[in-house]
């Protein structure tokens, strides 16, 4: 993999030039961001891979509900089988399958019951979602680079581990590195959230001070809440699973974080099946899970919520196997400060 990254180095300047020109055209107003008739809260990241965007979207969606603001969620719907705009939920009922909408947006509406839609064109998608559901605010999933739509709040979430890692190639732009755009783009964000996930808080390297010194920076982490039975929706405490022999199944961008969470809660990860991110499960994978489950004599299957919304459709094939997903929540070190920041920005922003 490292050799391939090195071989792709000559293409980095080409990608960099494209990004610089694009951002210049937006910054100069040649490319224009369009406003819609709702407050827009954009979430996104600088690098490819999991940084915690979906838990952040869920957190903000729930925050809006507590403040009696009718909010919705709009996503591109990565990995879905459909194209164009699609209403995923009206806030009361899920209108699509996970294959039609994509796993992350389906997970979001499954978790917090808010109006939601998918669309590659965020301006058109937001307008349709407003028309269909009457939302007053929309949380955009993974939209930091999607500058065609105007946003009232622009949030950037970065994984702590990405900032502290010593792998120099990772901090280059695509296709060699993991960056969608350079660290200087942090300037566009209204606030930066550094997500340490399940790790201890670390000091951010001094090389990033020049990007963060004038920014509102919040620190967040994941909290394991409990386990949910995928088929029955029953909730169980973490302690109920300590010492059990389980088969761990997941298909997410960075499984290390999930496995680390289980280990921290004294749950064995020795027996595991790791699939690629956004894995689209089919009969082949289900049979592989069954075979592995019985070969290791596991007590249950433990997975992520993202995988659970796809595995639930195979409930009949897995009716003799208990499947649970680890329910996690994003927590802020200073919850009140972050909540007030979001609500104050919404209240003071103008759509004129």
**11 and 106 housed in the same domain:** yes
**202 and 274 housed in the same domain:** no
Q: pLDDT, tens digit, for every residue of 287-321? A: 999 999 999 999 999 999 999 999 999 999 999 99
**25 and 71 housed in the same domain:** yes
Q: pLDDT, tens digit, for every residue of 29-73? A: 999 999 999 999 999 999 998 899 999 999 999 999 999 999 999
**123 and 264 housed in the same domain:** no
274 with 218: CB under 8 angstroms?
no
Which residues, 6 or more positions from 320, have their beta carbon under 8 angstroms from its beta carbon? none
148: Cα separation from own chain's centroid: 21
294 with 274: CB under 8 angstroms?
no
The low-confidence residues of the chain, meaning pLDDT below 70, are 1, 350-352
108 with 91: CB under 8 angstroms?
no
Measured at the alpha carbon of residue 150, what is the angle toward residues 117 and 84, in degrees to the nearest 5? 30
**266 and 184 housed in the same domain:** no
Q: pLDDT, tens digit, for every residue of 235-247? A: 999 999 998 899 9
Strand, helix or coil for residue 289: helix
Domain residues for 66?
A: 2-221+331-348
**204 and 312 housed in the same domain:** no
**70 and 95 housed in the same domain:** yes
Dump the DSSP string for 74-135.
Answer: EE--TT-S--S-EEEEESSSB-S-HHHH-HHHHHHHHHH--EEEE-SSHHHHHHHHHHHH--
Tell me the CATH number at 279.
3.40.50
**209 and 305 housed in the same domain:** no
**208 and 230 housed in the same domain:** no
**184 and 229 housed in the same domain:** no
First CA to last CA distance, the chain: 49
0.85 cut: is pTM over it? yes
**155 and 291 housed in the same domain:** no
Dump the DSSP string for 58-71.
Answer: HHHHHHHHHTT--E
**294 and 212 housed in the same domain:** no
Query: Given its phi and psi angles, is residue 29 left (phi above 0), alpha (psi -120 to 50 degrees) or beta?
Result: left
- DSSP H helices, the chain, are 2-7, 12-27, 53-66, 98-101, 103-112, 122-133, 160-164, 209-212, 255-264, 283-295, 305-311, 335-348
Tell me the CATH number at 137.
3.40.50.300
How many domains does the structure of the chain reveal? 2
pLDDT for the residue 350:
62
């Amino acid at each position: 993999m490292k050799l391939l990254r090195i071989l792709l180095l000559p293409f980095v300047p080409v990608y960099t030039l494209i990004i610089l020109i694009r951002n210049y055209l937006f910054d100069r107003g040649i490319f224009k961001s369009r406003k819609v008739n709702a407050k827009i809260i954009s979430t996104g990241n600088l690098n490819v891979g999991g940084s915690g965007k979906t838990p952040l979207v869920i957190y903000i969606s729930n925050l809006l509900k507590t403040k009696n603001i009718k909010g919705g969620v709009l996503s591109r719907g990565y990995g879905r089988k459909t194209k164009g705009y699609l209403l995923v939920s009206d806030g009361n009922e899920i209108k699509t399958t996970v294959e039609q909408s994509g796993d992350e947006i389906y997970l979001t509406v499954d978790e917090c019951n808010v109006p939601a839609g998918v669309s590659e064109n965020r301006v058109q998608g937001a307008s349709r979602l407003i028309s269909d559901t009457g939302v007053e605010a929309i949380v955009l999933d993974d939209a930091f680079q999607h500058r065609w739509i105007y946003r009232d709040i622009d949030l950037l979430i970065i994984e702590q581990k990405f900032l502290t890692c010593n792998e120099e190639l990772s901090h280059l732009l695509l296709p060699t590195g993991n960056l969608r755009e350079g660290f200087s783009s942090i300037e566009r964000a209204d606030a930066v959230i550094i997500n340490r996930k399940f790790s201890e808080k670390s000091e951010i390297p001094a090389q990033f001070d020049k990007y963060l010194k004038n920014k509102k920076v919040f620190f967040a982490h994941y909290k394991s809440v409990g386990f949910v039975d995928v088929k029955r929706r029953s909730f169980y405490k973490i302690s109920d699973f300590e010492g059990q022999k389980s088969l761990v199944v997941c298909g997410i961008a960075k499984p290390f974080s999930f496995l680390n969470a289980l280990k921290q809660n004294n749950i064995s990860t020795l027996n595991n099946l790791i699939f690629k991110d956004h894995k689209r499960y089919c009969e082949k994978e289900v049979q592989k899970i069954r075979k592995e489950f019985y070969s290791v004599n596991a007590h249950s299957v433990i997975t992520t919520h993202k995988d659970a919304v796809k595995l639930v459709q195979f409930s009949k094939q897995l009716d003799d196997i208990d499947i649970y997903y680890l329910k996690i929540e994003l927590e802020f070190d200073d919850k009140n400060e972050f909540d007030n920041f979001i609500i104050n920005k919404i209240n003071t922003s103008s759509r004129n």
